[in-house]
Structures are given as C-alpha cells and as structure tokens.
Amino acid sequence: MTGVPASAAGGSSPAHGAAKPKGASKTQAGGKVQGAAKNHSTPKAQGAALSSAADPSGAAGGGKPARGAKIAAAAVNQASVWNIANLLTMLRLLLVPGFVALMLADGGYDPAWRSVAWAAFAIAMITDLFDGHLARTYNLVTDFGKIADPIADKAIMGAALICLSALGDLPWWVTIVILGRELGITLLRFLVIRYGVIPASRGGKLKTLTQGVAVGMYVLALTGWLATLRFWVMAVAVVLTVVTGLDYVRQAIVLRRQGIAERKAALEETEA
C-alpha cells in the first residue's frame, strides 16, 4: 500500500522514517520531513536536561558556578582555621594573662598560687610540643598558625621571665639574654627569608626544652637542694641560648652568601 497519510508519517520516529524506501511518494517525503522537524527538538531538550543534571549550578553547558557554591567554598576555607592545632595555640595565648595574674597573686610569694601558676605554665609548654606536630602531621598548617604559634611561645616564656625578675627570683640579665636572643633570631629569620629558611636545629630544640624546665622550676617555690638544682639547670639553659643563637647567626650569614652567589650566577647566565 503506497498511500500513507501525512499524519501517520509525521507521528513516526526518525528511525522509522529513515527506513522508508527512496521511491516513496511526495506525501511520505513531506511527512518524513515534518516528523524529523518535529522530533528534532527532543535531542536538544534531552541534552539540556543532561547538562542541567551534570551542572549543579543549573547553568547549561558547564557555565560559571553559582554564587552560592562560591560562598560555600569560601566558608569551608575559613573553617579550616579552626583546627585542633590552632585551638591549642589560641589556648596558649589565653593562658598568658592568666599565668601573670596567678604569678603576682598575693604579692607573688604564696606557694599555693605559684603552684597553680606552674600548672598553667606547664600546660602552655605541653601544648607547644603538640600543636606544631599535629599541624605538620595532619596537614593543618595555616597562615594564622604560622604567625600565632611563635608569638604564643615567646609570650608565655617572656611573661614568666619578666615576672620572675620583677619578683627578684631571677637576675634581670638572664631575662635580657634569653629574650634578646629570641627576638633577635626571629628578626634575623625575616631578614634572610628571601634567600631561604633557617631550619630548627637539635640544639635549638634542646634549648627550648631546657628553658622550659628551668623557668618551670623557678616558678615553683623550691627550697634546699632543689633550689640549687634549678640554678644549674638555668645556667645550662643560658649557655644553650647563647651557643644556639650564635649558630643561627652563622647559618644566616652562610645562607645569605649562597643566595647572593646563586643570584649573581643566574644573572651572568642570563646576560650570556
């Protein structure tokens, strides 16, 4: 049967229309064209639906992310500051004024208050051991931590030394040597950072540990042989402070010379 109505041809699928023989009548051809035109919108609609499903922002063709997605990503980045390592650093910063208040309570010579002050100082020293390790181990390093951690370290140590010297328990020259070394090395690190980073040495870590033990012993109201022992521990801490400080100065000079030589060699190679 050769006379197929146009409405029947228009209602057929494109695949069915493609299977028609070449000798079909004009009516069939017209119906096939009409059917193709009618069904041509279906793949576009399907493509738009697939694009919408693939792009959560709702933009067809993989357009720019929605504004809400950007805000959510920024919120996640900001929330990363509140990790366990940074919280320990914040705790150490908050302990500084509390430690000073405990040290100076009741004239600064009450053994009970000094014991509580020692507990606050010990907590600060323990958190100092853990926050940096946690940040490096679990990839929690942030810009806030890089700035706040060394500030917290020097704040609690400086507060303890100044309080001890103000109370007459520790000579002022010891406080000046230790704090002067810490501030000087920090400034030196910033001055040579363009050439490289001075790594923390084993001597520097031993110095920090010895300083913490010595200052902690001075915070406690010790007498007898324990008072004599803390004097010698502090003497070792002062020696390590000076020796490691001079070693950092040497490393900074070497690092600067190497950096200048490398820049000069690179400049000569470029000119050549």
pLDDT < 50 positions in the chain: 1-63, 65, 68-79
Q: SS in 3 state form for 248-266? A: HHHHHHHHHHHHHHHHHHH
Residue 80's pLDDT is what? Answer: 67
Q: 38, 6 in Cβ contact below 8 A?
A: no
Residue 103's pLDDT is what? Answer: 95
* CA separation, residue 53 to residues 44, 46, 60, 238 (Å): 14, 11, 9, 67
Give the closest residue to 157 by CA, choosing from 234, 270, 47: 234
Residue 18's pLDDT is what? Answer: 43
pTM, two decimals, is: 0.66
Residue 2's pLDDT is what? Answer: 41
Residue 58's pLDDT is what? Answer: 44
Q: 89, 149 in Cβ contact below 8 A?
A: yes
CA 64 to chain centre: 28
Residue 177's pLDDT is what? Answer: 96
Residue 149's pLDDT is what? Answer: 81
Q: 119, 220 in Cβ contact below 8 A?
A: no
Q: Which two tokens stand for residue 269?
A: 């190679």
Q: Which two tokens stand for residue 8?
A: 């029947």
Share of the chain above pLDDT 70, in %: 71
Q: Which two tokens stand for residue 138?
A: 């679990």
* pLDDT one-digit tens code per residue, 30-89: 444 344 434 444 444 444 443 444 444 444 444 454 554 444 444 344 446 788 888 888
